[in-house]
């Protein structure tokens, strides 16, 4: 009886799971409506007081998505005051609602990704899974990798869709 050979393991294919780039980053959201009068009205003195009374250390070493969940009219300086408070604690501050935060983190992580390990490699971008891995992310990772990889594929190592092959 012949031994079972794992051809996927022997193929030298590198699998890149985009979700892993995000899931290793602690993130939190900040809805600034909590600093507004009745969640809708920005009163400067009251706003400033609430900001100074907030424990900002809860955002330490996190990526923070800042947004307003109500239809309040927020003056531009208010966003600046929020950043002033968050800045000493956070890794990164993004203007983002909770649904967009992971996608924005992912897009930044793709831009920061060291692509040298993928040079002349056969790479599979893992498909399916997390909903925050959007079309934008697949577009951006393709832009980054096509100039350096030997092959670029989508899916799982055992079942891939060919995307690019260096000639």
> Which spans in the chain are helix H?
7-10, 18-23, 44-53, 76-86, 98-112, 135-145
**Residues 74 and 45 occupy one common structural domain:** yes
> What total number of domains does the chain contain?
2
Q: State the residue range of the domain holding 45.
A: 27-90
Residue segments in the chain with a per-residue pLDDT below the cut of 50:
5-9
pLDDT value, residue 115: 96
Read off the pLDDT of residues 86-134 as tens digits, 9 standing for 90 and up: 999 998 999 998 889 999 999 999 999 999 999 999 999 998 777 788 8
**Residues 106 and 161 occupy one common structural domain:** yes
**Residues 80 and 55 occupy one common structural domain:** yes
Do you know the residue count of the chain? 167
């Amino acid at each position: 009886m012949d031994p079972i050979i794992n051809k996927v393991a022997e193929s030298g294919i590198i699998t890149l799971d985009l979700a892993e780039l995000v899931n290793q980053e602690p993130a939190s959201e900040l809805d600034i409506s909590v600093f507004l009068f009745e969640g809708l009205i920005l009163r400067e003195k009251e706003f400033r007081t609430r900001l100074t009374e907030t424990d900002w250390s809860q955002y330490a070493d996190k990526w923070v998505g800042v947004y307003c969940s109500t239809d309040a009219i927020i003056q531009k300086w208010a966003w600046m005051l929020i950043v002033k408070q968050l800045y000493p604690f956070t890794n990164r501050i993004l203007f983002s609602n909770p649904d967009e935060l992971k996608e924005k983190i992912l897009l930044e992580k793709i831009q920061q990704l060291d692509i040298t390990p993928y040079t002349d490699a056969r790479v599979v971008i893992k498909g399916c899974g997390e909903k925050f891995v959007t079309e934008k992310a697949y577009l951006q990772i393709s832009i980054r990798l096509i100039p350096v990889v030997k092959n670029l594929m989508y899916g799982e190592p055992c079942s891939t869709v060919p995307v690019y092959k260096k000639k």
